[in-house]
């Protein structure tokens, strides 16, 4: 009869150490991620300069479509992330998966466009001199968002770590790229479809590896 | 008699406010509920450890319960999380033991525990993999003995154990994400 006694002791100790707690609320996670995205956008604008051309009507439709799709993916991923941060059973929303699939239309269009342009113009795509800058800057901006998401998840109690890791990567990749994208005047489909989409799967893959140990409890 | 959903929710709301008496009652009742939950999932000798793990988790993460939502699904999600974590540890230990000394004799207790935990998932494995794991990891035969008994080559026994354990781990991972 030792086990019940030890459990009783444990319960007594836990009950004794039962201070009032402030509840974890999903909207707090949302607010934190929005704030991190805003901070990343402001930081990127301060470093690289906000592209005023978009407000002057100079941006191509691709610019708006790409950033709108990134916003949809970021929003869907954030919503799923903060909802899944609390223990629950039952089906989980798959909107992030569909939003990511929709975003996949852009690199497809970019590759088709690349194949159609004369060889001399291929540097707009794979040899794009600004590609690395956009890729790394978007990932750096995404890191700010990812840190906010992880901080929230550590305070909450996620029970599906792999899923939360994917969502952290998708949200941070999409919102980070969106935040940086406000500074990038290159608005062709090839540049946007490749270099403003690639940070998302990269962030998702990296997060899938790095995030689970950080949020395990 | 076990407490019902409304009682659990009332006690949990009080616990979040720092009510120690409510916490004591809630943890006691939750312990009974968890005993039933785990009795069908793990060997009897592991039930109390898991119950205590979940009670500690419940206490540590009590801020994550939303009073607008039912309590028992929240508790079940935590219990399942701890259960999957427990299974992963069991399989990882089994895999590490195999890598350290293929065919080494396990203790009888480990074999029985492994068998009880693995049985529920064995049906999902190909016959050869299940047989190799059963002979070496549960009955404690050496690779050579298992090879003679099963008719598989020694290499195949090792491969089947490796792949079988990997698949079991994948099944556990899948269980976590669905």
**ipTM (interface pTM):** 0.79
Question: Does residue A54 or residue A2 have the better pLDDT?
Answer: A54
* Nearest residue of B to residue A94, measured between CA atoms: B178
Give me the pLDDT at residue B116, please. 52
Question: Are B62 and A217 inside 8 Å of each other by CB?
Answer: no
Question: Are A18 and B76 inside 8 Å of each other by CB?
Answer: no
Question: Are A15 and B23 inside 8 Å of each other by CB?
Answer: yes
**How close is the nearest chain A Cα to the Cα of B155, in Å?**
32
The tokens 């299940």 sit on which residue?
A: B130
DSSP annotation string for B18-29: T-HHHHHHHHHH
| Percent of residues, chain B, with pLDDT higher than 90 | 34
Do A110 and A189 form a contact (C-beta atoms < 8 A)?
A: yes
In the predicted structure, residue A3 carries a pLDDT above the cut 80? no
Min mean pLDDT across A52-61, A178-187, B155-164 is at: B155-164
Of B15, B65, B80, nearest to A18 by CB-CB distance is B15
Model pLDDT for residues B16-34, shown as the tens digit of each residue: 999 999 999 999 999 999 9
Give me the pLDDT at residue A118, please. 65
Give me the pLDDT at residue B103, please. 43
Give me the pLDDT at residue A5, please. 62
Do A169 and A208 form a contact (C-beta atoms < 8 A)?
A: yes
Question: Are A3 and B48 inside 8 Å of each other by CB?
Answer: yes
What average pLDDT does the structure give for chain A?
91
Give me the pLDDT at residue B107, please. 43
Of B17, B62, B81, nearest to A159 by CB-CB distance is B81
CB contacts of B77 in chain A (<8 Å) are: 87-89, 159
Give me the pLDDT at residue B96, please. 65
Backbone angles phi, psi at B19, to 5 degrees: -75, 110
- Kindly compute the dihedral angle of the four CA atoms of residues B55, B56, B61, B62, in this order, to the nearest 10 degrees: 50
**How close is the nearest chain B Cα to the Cα of A170, in Å?**
17
Question: What whole-number distance in Å separates Cα of residue A24 and Cα of residue A100?
Answer: 28
Cβ within 8 Å of residue A200, ≥6 positions away: A70, A73, A100, A103, A169, A170, A173, A174, A177
| For residues A175-193, average pLDDT | 94
Question: What whole-number distance in Å separates Cα of residue A69 and Cα of residue A93?
Answer: 18
User: pTM for the whole thing?
Assistant: 0.76
Do A28 and A86 form a contact (C-beta atoms < 8 A)?
A: no
| For residues B74-84, average pLDDT | 92
Question: Are A162 and B65 inside 8 Å of each other by CB?
Answer: no
Domain ranges of chain A: 25-215
**How close is the nearest chain A Cα to the Cα of B45, in Å?**
10
Question: Does residue B153 or residue B168 have the better pLDDT?
Answer: B153
In the predicted structure, residue B148 carries a pLDDT above the cut 60? yes
Task: Kindly indicate the confidence band of residue A127, based on its pLDDT and cuts at 50, 70 and 90.
Answer: low
Do B86 and B116 form a contact (C-beta atoms < 8 A)?
A: no
């Amino acid at each position: 009869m030792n086990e019940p006694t030890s459990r009783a002791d444990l319960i007594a100790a836990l009950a004794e150490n039962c201070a009032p707690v402030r509840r974890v609320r999903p909207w707090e996670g949302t607010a934190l991620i929005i704030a991190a995205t805003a901070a990343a956008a402001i930081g990127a604008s301060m470093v690289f300069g906000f592209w005023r051309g978009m407000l002057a009507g100079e941006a191509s439709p691709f610019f708006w479509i790409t950033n709108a799709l990134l916003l949809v993916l970021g929003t869907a991923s954030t919503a799923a992330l903060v909802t899944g941060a609390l223990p629950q059973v039952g089906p989980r929303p798959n909107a992030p998966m569909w939003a990511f699939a929709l975003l996949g239309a852009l690199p497809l269009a970019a590759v088709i466009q690349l194949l159609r342009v004369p060889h001399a113009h291929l540097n707009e795509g794979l040899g794009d001199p600004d590609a690395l800058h956009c890729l790394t800057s978007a990932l750096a901006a995404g890191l700010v968002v990812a840190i906010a998401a992880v901080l929230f998840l550590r305070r909450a109690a996620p029970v599906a770590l792999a899923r939360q890791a994917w969502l952290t990567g998708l949200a941070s990749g999409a919102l980070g790229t969106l935040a940086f994208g406000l500074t990038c005047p290159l608005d062709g489909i090839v540049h946007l479809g490749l270099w403003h989409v690639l940070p998302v799967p990269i962030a998702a893959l990296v997060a899938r590896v790095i995030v689970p140990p950080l949020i395990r409890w | 008699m076990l407490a019902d959903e409304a009682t659990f929710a009332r006690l949990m709301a009080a616990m979040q406010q720092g009510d120690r008496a409510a916490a004591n009652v809630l943890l006691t009742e939750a312990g009974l509920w968890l005993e039933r939950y785990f009795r069908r999932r793990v060997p009897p000798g592991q039930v109390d450890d898991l119950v205590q793990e979940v009670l500690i988790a419940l206490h540590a993460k009590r801020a994550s319960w939303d009073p607008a939502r039912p309590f028992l699904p929240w508790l079940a999600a935590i219990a399942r999380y701890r259960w999957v974590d427990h299974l992963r540890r069991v399989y990882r230990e089994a895999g590490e033991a195999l890598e350290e000394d293929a065919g080494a004799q396990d203790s009888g207790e480990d074999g029985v525990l492994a068998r009880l935990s693995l049985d529920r998932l064995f049906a999902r494995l190909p016959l050869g993999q299940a047989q190799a794991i059963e002979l070496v990891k549960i009955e404690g035969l050496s690779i050579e003995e298992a090879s003679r008994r099963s008719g598989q080559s020694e290499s195949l026994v090792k491969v089947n154990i490796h792949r079988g354990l990997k698949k079991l781990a994948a099944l556990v991972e899948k269980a976590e994400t669905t």
